[in-house]
Structure 1
Amino acid sequence: MNTDPIADYLTRIRNAQMARHKVVEIPASNIKKEITKILEDKGYILSHKFEDDGKQGVIKIALKYNKNVPAIKKIERISKPGLRKYCGADSLPRVLNGLGIAVLSTSKGVITDKEARNENVGGEILCYVY
Structure 2
Amino acid sequence: MKNYLWNMFASIKNGQLAKKSVIITSRKNISESFLKILWNEGFISGYRILSQNDKKIEIFLKYTRTGKPAINSLKCLSKPGQRLYYSAKQIWKLDSSKTFLIISTNQGLKTINQCKKDKVGGEPLVVIT
| Deviation, structure 1 residue 24 | 0.6
TM norm structure 1: 0.89
Give a deviation string over 1:70-104, Cα, whole Å, max 9, x none.
Answer: 00011111111111111001112646x51321111
Q: Which one has a larger percent strand, Structure 1 or Structure 2? A: 1
Establish whether residue 64 from structure 1 lines up as the match of residue 62 from structure 2. Answer: yes
Backbone CA RMSD of aligned residues: 1.6
| Aligned residues with identical type, % of pairs | 29
Tell me if structure 2 keeps the 8 A contact 1:47–1:62: yes
In the TM superposition, 1:44-55 aligns within 5 A as: 44-51=43-50, 53=53
Structure 2 gaps of 5+ residues are none
In the alignment, which residue of structure 2 is the partner of 1:85?
84
Tell me if structure 2 keeps the 8 A contact 1:4–1:80: no
TM norm structure 2: 0.90
CA distance in 1, matches of 2:98, 2:37: 15
In the alignment, which residue of structure 2 is the partner of 1:76?
75
SS at match of 1:65: coil
**Equivalences, count:** 125
CA distance in 2, matches of 1:94, 1:70: 25
CA distance in 1, matches of 2:77, 2:3: 12
In the alignment, which residue of structure 2 is the partner of 1:127?
126
CA distance in 2, matches of 1:80, 1:28: 21
CA distance in 2, matches of 1:111, 1:59: 21
| Deviation, structure 1 residue 109 | 1.1
Q: Please tell me the residue identity of whatever aligns with 2:63.
A: Y
Q: Which one is further off, 86-95 or 72-81?
A: 86-95
CA distance in 1, matches of 2:86, 2:50: 34
CA distance in 2, matches of 1:6, 1:94: 24
Tell me if structure 2 keeps the 8 A contact 1:86–1:123: yes
Structure 1 stretches (4+) deviating beyond 3 angstroms?
none
SS at match of 1:80: coil
